Structure 1
Amino acid sequence: MTLAQRLFRTKPTAQIVAEGGRGEGGELRRTMSLWQLTLFSVGATLGTGIFVILGQAVPKAGPAVVLSFVLAAITALFSALSYAELAGTIPVSGSSYSYAYATLGELIAWVCGWCLMLEYAVSVAAVAVGWGQYLNSFLHSLFGWTLPTAIIASPGQDGGVINLAAILIVVLATWVLLYGASESATANAVFVLIKIVVLVFFCVVAFSAFQAKNFTPFAPLGVAGITAAASQVFFSYIGFDAASTAGEEARNPKRDLPLAIILSLAIVTVLYVLVAAAAVGAMPWTQFDPESTEASLAQIADLATGSTWAGLIVSFGAVIAIASVVLTVIYGQTRILFAMSRDGLIPRVFQKVNPRHQVPVANTLIVAGFISVLAGFVPLGQLAEATSIGTLFAFLIVNIGVLVLRYRSPELPRSFRTPLFPLTPVLGAIFCALVMAGLAGVTWLAFGLWMLVGLAGYFLYGFRKSRLNAEVV
């Protein structure tokens, strides 16, 4: 085979599915129900976005920010439907990495997996840093004291030595994950239900102070404002694909994975629209400060009740929300690395399964250690924003993968079929490309540098160790 043929050689879907669940030393355990899978995706999606991004989006669209959330949900839905089809057809742990391997070849699969490493590792480190800040705010509201700056800020920031708070939440999430997938799913379910209850509580409180006049004029900044806000809030939908990383630990993956992806997006969309409507109804859109967004929901809750107890509950919800995101994202990262290791593209240690708990222990500890270093010692800054482009690239690949697999292997059994094919995946790919095109130049620069490092890693290690390539040498 020529070099190009080897680089873009696809892995048969039957082989990918047959290998599912198996690693060195044991197999992953199929314990996760539809409910747990759905809450995994909700847990990864429903995080800091609604607690922070709403305050930034309202000044762009005014009361019509409600439509911005709907528009962003429709944009995410196209990719979610493509994920649902491929998750039901190729129900394994690798998510979009495995889908790319089956449809577009090994090099594209590697690039996709490398993008997911950027998305998961850096984003969860940034989220962990945010958790420390929210925890500090919560403690200050509850007890009137705060943690020393030396242990909640990284070196290089004012007074920062080590962000112990960020490391703490990573360690706690890792401790839960090491007990097993079922235990992790149960813990996540508790976290998710708490933050849903908190957001419903916010809606009840905010609607009690609802004033219809706050919605007049409805779209003061026009269609341009609605679309600008939609582009911003789109990133609060990222995470609905988390269930696809649990393909080898789902009880009935062909049925449950597509349903979990669609259900999670529906749940999150309803919550986002309700929270946005309640927030704008309780406080005029002109009073939202885009520079001070961390406590926007807590501030509105306090204004609606005329006291601080409501805002305290909302702040507690933010702390729980971020903890849930850390748990689910670390889980997803380890399962993608598990699949890549099984294919030989990264070292074998990442696929070793502990026979007692039936989880990849070494993999989980390595990922947690790397994320802890990032969260505790590195000021992430704008690098965290670069994770968005990695996610969008993975979405783009999945939409193209659906098109390729439908035309190349129409006979494959599919438990879910994307409606309005080929329009849906085509629109999904176009929307992803448009959102990517609108990202800042510094984001593209960070993405380009990350890709160069990834390609070097592939040709120095992955290409030579690939199990698929070993078959033709």
Structure 2
Amino acid sequence: MTSLSQQLLRRKSTSAEAADDRGLKRSIGLFALTMIGVGGTIGTGIFYVLSDAVPIAGPAVIWSFVLGGAVAGVTALCYAELAGSVPVSGSTYSYAYATLGEAPAMGVAACLLLEYGVSTAGVAVGWSQYVNQLLFNLFGFRIPDALSNAPEQGGIINLPAVIVIVLCALLLLRGASESTRINAIMVMVKIAVLLFFVAVAFTGWNSDHFANFAPHGLQGVVAGAGLIFFSFIGLDAVATAGGEAKNPKRNLPLAIILALVIVITMYVIVALAALGAQESEKFEGQSAGLSAILESIIGSSWPGTVVAAGAVISIFSVTLVCLYGQTRVLFAMSRDGMVPPVFSKVNPRTLSPVPNTVIVMTVVAILAAFVPINFLLEMTSIGTLVAFLVVSVAVIILRRREPGIERGFRLPLHPLIPVLSILGCIWIITQLRPITIVVFVIWTAAVLVYYWFYGRKHSALARAASPDADIPYTSTIPQVDEGDR
């Protein structure tokens, strides 16, 4: 092996990973972790994306949710094993660093920057639509199109999307425990609102709406799954909290599995109720769709107002979780020397990465203000799919390389489940628009070029250890004593 290949493939020792999140406080328990998964998943995916996915798949979009859930499910089991083996912040990036090597980890980081940064912008754009619907129902006015749409959609700036991102950032600056507590409350509210929608929507059930079940065949079902796959991002978000989780080897795998079960159940029930209550042709271009469905059934605005209010709360929690995930991935990268030290600078009082949060808030707010949601959703989906694929590969590699490592959860039917996950991710990726794949490849190449000129030289492993072996890395982030907390 050449010296260059040794540099590109140097790996962090899994035995040292647990000590790498110094400066972060382990304050998040099992319930809060599960709510991170549910809160980061149930949101724009069901409140908004039906208007984009139903025209593609027809009523068979139900199978799109099932297909996406199946791929996410087998991948979630892979996440559960890795989260119980390498319980640190950074999620897929950290897993790739410990199994595939430094350069592949940077490629994964490119996926995560799309998965979290772009999805935060995407869900914030969806939030603005429900804010408009709520304002109209309550007060009879809407925010002007010029201030609630991207330039490509005839506006100037999406101001509500910017506002929700700023509010979420301010909450994160108060600390992880406060943020997760508020997120858990919002998750319970959103589940209650969705169950309310289901109860009302089933009163307008019409089986004729399923007559032309799959107008575009299997291709439409798979294309729909590719579009909505971004909504399963919350499963990865649980793993980003590895550095702040209590008893991470036990709680991280449990939280991922519990979140998966809750999410898939809610998605399928809500999609079924929505399609039973409204013809599939009416979904296309429909703004704040769930609210509109209830208003049509009841003939009054109050049920739609309830759903719109629930959506505002729901999508706020998704934005919060995605923004949190992005900051923790960058924290892990900074800890490893891959991005500048400012991203791992922690406030001694709140134990939150303040400069990191402010920088992410600014960049994501710009995206949300000026880029339309459909492009944001597809870029998020491909980033999520590639990250999920890498997790599945990492499980196989870690099983072979370190079979005796302590695992909080052991994946059943190995290697069948990770292989199914890999094939499912590849299948859905091939159904995305070519322009989405091209932009993704260009973006990943740009991140790897950045790694070549900065990350490779500033890597903590490059400074602290020989590239010939996996030598544990000791973080330079100062340890905070319990008495100072």
| Structure 1 residues 225 and 368: alpha-carbon distance in aligned structure 2, compared to 1, 3 A threshold | closer
Give the distance between the partners of 1:294 and 1:54, measured in 2 at CA.
10
Counterpart in the other structure of 2:15:
14
Counterpart in the other structure of 2:334:
341
Give the distance between the partners of 2:371 and 2:431, measured in 1 at CA.
27
1:212-244: CA deviations, max 9, x gaps?
A: 454557667665554444444433323211110
Give the distance between the partners of 1:165 and 1:277, measured in 2 at CA.
30
Give the alignment partner of residue 386 of structure 2, picking from 372, 385, 393: 393
Give the distance between the partners of 1:211 and 1:383, measured in 2 at CA.
33
Counterpart in the other structure of 2:474:
none
| Structure 1 residues 323 and 12: alpha-carbon distance in aligned structure 2, compared to 1, 3 A threshold | same
Q: Which moved more, 1:298-307 or 1:195-204?
A: 298-307
1:208 matched to 2:203? The reply is yes
TM-score normalised by length of structure 2: 0.90
1:260-313: CA deviations, max 9, x gaps?
A: 11111110111111112212222344x4332x2333221221122221111111
Verify the 8 A CA contact 1:31 1:250 in the aligned structure 2: yes
TM-score normalised by length of structure 1: 0.93
Counterpart in the other structure of 1:288:
282
1:299 matched to 2:292? The reply is yes
Map 1:192-231 onto structure 2 (within 5 A): 192-215=187-210, 223=218, 225-231=220-226
Root mean square deviation of aligned Cα:
2.1
Q: Measure how far apart 1:408 and its partner are.
A: 0.6
Counterpart in the other structure of 2:259:
264
Counterpart in the other structure of 1:279:
274
Verify the 8 A CA contact 1:383 1:443 in the aligned structure 2: no
Letter in 1 for 2:13: P
Q: Measure how far apart 1:201 and its partner are.
A: 0.3
Give the alignment partner of residue 241 of structure 1, picking from 233, 236, 240: 236
Give the distance between the partners of 2:113 and 2:214, measured in 1 at CA.
39
Give the distance between the partners of 1:419 and 1:129, measured in 2 at CA.
39
Q: Measure how far apart 1:247 and its partner are.
A: 0.5
| Structure 1 residues 61 and 452: alpha-carbon distance in aligned structure 2, compared to 1, 3 A threshold | closer
Verify the 8 A CA contact 1:383 1:446 in the aligned structure 2: no
Verify the 8 A CA contact 2:129 2:288 in the aligned structure 1: no
In structure 1, runs of 5+ residues without a counterpart are none
In structure 2, runs of 5+ residues without a counterpart are 468-485
Letter in 1 for 2:434: G
Aligned residues: 465
Map 1:60-139 onto structure 2 (within 5 A): 60-139=56-135
1:110-162: CA deviations, max 9, x gaps?
A: 111122112211221232233223212221122111223343234565351x4
Verify the 8 A CA contact 1:51 1:294 in the aligned structure 2: no
Counterpart in the other structure of 2:478:
none
Displaced runs of 4 or more, over 4 A: 59-64, 154-157, 212-228, 377-381
| Structure 1 residues 129 and 200: alpha-carbon distance in aligned structure 2, compared to 1, 3 A threshold | same
Counterpart in the other structure of 1:434:
427
Letter in 2 for 1:115: C
1:164 matched to 2:164? The reply is no
Verify the 8 A CA contact 2:119 2:230 in the aligned structure 1: no
1:327 matched to 2:323? The reply is no
Give the alignment partner of residue 43 of structure 1, picking from 39, 45, 63: 39
Q: Which moved more, 1:461-470 or 1:276-285?
A: 276-285
| Structure 1 residues 404 and 228: alpha-carbon distance in aligned structure 2, compared to 1, 3 A threshold | same
Q: Measure how far apart 1:403 and its partner are.
A: 0.3
Counterpart in the other structure of 1:151:
147
Give the distance between the partners of 1:297 and 1:380, measured in 2 at CA.
18
| Structure 1 residues 283 and 150: alpha-carbon distance in aligned structure 2, compared to 1, 3 A threshold | closer
Give the distance between the partners of 1:295 and 1:373, measured in 2 at CA.
23
Letter in 1 for 2:184: A
